[in-house]
Amino acid sequence: MEGDPPSTEFIEQIAGENNLPLTCFSSFLYHAKIDPRHRKELDHVLDELPLTQDQLALIGLSSLRTIRMMTEIMEDIIRSGAA
């Protein structure tokens, strides 16, 4: 979600379509509000760090793991709302 979060409109749509309160999506809403301006800061910090290839690989793996986990969280929320 860092730097390219879903829009608040999308999050509100998902919540509405699944009859879920927006409080279920508080982390997503937080990132939707702060991350568009945060992306440049994060990119700059990462670009300036003297990282080895192994460290860059670990950051990439961590990113993929985070994407997977956030996707699972969203799917769980939607399944819970549908049940």
**Type and span of the H or E element at 63:** helix 53-82
pLDDT of residue 12: 92
pLDDT in tens, 1-37: 566 778 889 889 988 988 889 898 888 888 888 776 7
Neighbours of 69 (CB within 10 A): 10
Q: Long-range contacts: 66-70, Cβ < 8 Å, 24+?
A: 66/1, 70/1
pTM: 0.56
pLDDT of residue 2: 63
Q: Which two tokens stand for residue 12?
A: 């509100």
Above 90 in pLDDT, residue 78? no
pLDDT in tens, 41-55: 888 888 999 999 999
Neighbours of 7 (CB within 10 A): 11
Above 70 in pLDDT, residue 83? no
